[in-house]
Amino acid sequence: MKIPKRLFFSLITQTFLSLVCCLSISVFAASYPDRPMKWIVPYPPGGTTDVIARNIAQNMSEQLGQPIVIENKPGAGGQIAMNYVAKAPADGYTLLVSDASLATVQSLYKSLPFNPQADLAAVSLFVTVPHIVVVNPALKVSSLNELIRLNKQQAEKMVFSSGGLGSPLHLAGESLKFATGLDWLHVPYKGAGPAIFAVVSNEAQIATPSLPAVLAQIQGKKLDALAIMGDKRSPALPNVPTVLELGYPKATAIGWVGLHAPAGVDAEVLSKLAVVTKRSLKNPLLQSRLQEQGATISSDINSGEYAKFVGIQSAHWNQVVKSAGIQAE
């Protein structure tokens, strides 16, 4: 069968363009990155997510041979940072430092200017960080069960401080509340820092922040740690039991820090980032620094597993939001 000359040249042209396109992508991936990168953090400087991101960025920058600039874009429960990255060019130079807010944002807001699943692509999970039950030492309780008994005896409610309605601190507290029957007055503050300070100053008595955020205060005896809200004890506080050990599996609350990219970034670029992440997280000095901060390193979880993890966490926190009666804004 003779192919018409016009069709023949059309097929040749399409094949040539496809080869050029593939070659261009491969060359781009091989030279990536050839300029500074931006990591967008959805919180102000100094918090758990920000500090961990800066530690990892420093090591990965050395591996990649290009600076990684941390930009903080706080606000709207992480929406500002997520939307910024979701709408950034899909070239691998603007990335989101993702955390638990990525799993809660859809439950807390009726409408979003982006789709977390469709517009953002998982790259790597850096670390997981358990939440922890802390109280002011003035309560004079040494265990979670003692706190529960004292809570039942008191005529007035204890004060629970959070970083704001729907914040990770608040939702972790709701998990604890429903699992244990604790009763308290919830007072939302403008961020995790003020919420933690409220317990240190005894303005509030209980909080459930991430472990890295309060490790120094616990070690300095300014806060008492009653339970790790994860499924295993932390090497940073080996004597503090988990809520699982104490018989409250539904009180589990885990935070994390990882990396997402705009959807559409070339697969080879994402693969390169994942490889460099894994290599960086095996650096002994970085491992030591992260573990000292109370983080558990997750270097063996690939991008597909990270995406699945976020989906599971989204379903979990959606149920917590509904159980707590929190109305989406």
Alpha-carbon distance 46 to 230, whole Å?
23
Residues 244 and 268 both lie in one domain: no
What are the backbone angles phi and psi of residue 269, rounded to the nearest 5°?
A: -70, -45
CATH number at residue 313: 3.40.190.150
Specify whether the CB–CB gap between 106 and 318 falls below 8 A: yes
pLDDT at 139: 94
Specify whether the CB–CB gap between 283 and 59 falls below 8 A: yes
Residues 1 and 111 both lie in one domain: no
Residue 67 is classified by DSSP as -
Q: Is residue 329 part of a domain?
A: no
When pLDDT is cut at 50, 70 and 90, the band that residue 28 belongs to is very low
Alpha-carbon distance 95 to 73, whole Å?
12
pLDDT at 293: 86
How many residues comprise the chain? 329
* pLDDT, tens only, 137-165: 999 999 999 999 999 887 577 999 998 88
* pLDDT, tens only, 281-306: 999 999 999 988 889 998 788 899 99
Half-sphere exposure of 305 (CA within 13 A, CB side): 9
Alpha-carbon distance 226 to 145, whole Å?
9
What are the backbone angles phi and psi of residue 284, rounded to the nearest 5°?
A: -55, -40
Examine residue 33 and say whether the peptide bond preceding it is cis (omega within 30 degrees of 0).
yes
Specify whether the CB–CB gap between 150 and 244 falls below 8 A: no
Specify whether the CB–CB gap between 73 and 81 falls below 8 A: yes
Domain of residue 12, residue span: 1-30
Beta bridge partners of 133: 227
pTM of the model: 0.84
Name which residue leads in pLDDT, 41 or 19: 41
Residues 207 and 247 both lie in one domain: yes
Of 10-19, 184-193, 209-218, the least confident? 10-19
Residues 169 and 272 both lie in one domain: no
Residues 242 and 281 both lie in one domain: no
Residues 143 and 99 both lie in one domain: no
pLDDT at 22 over 50: no
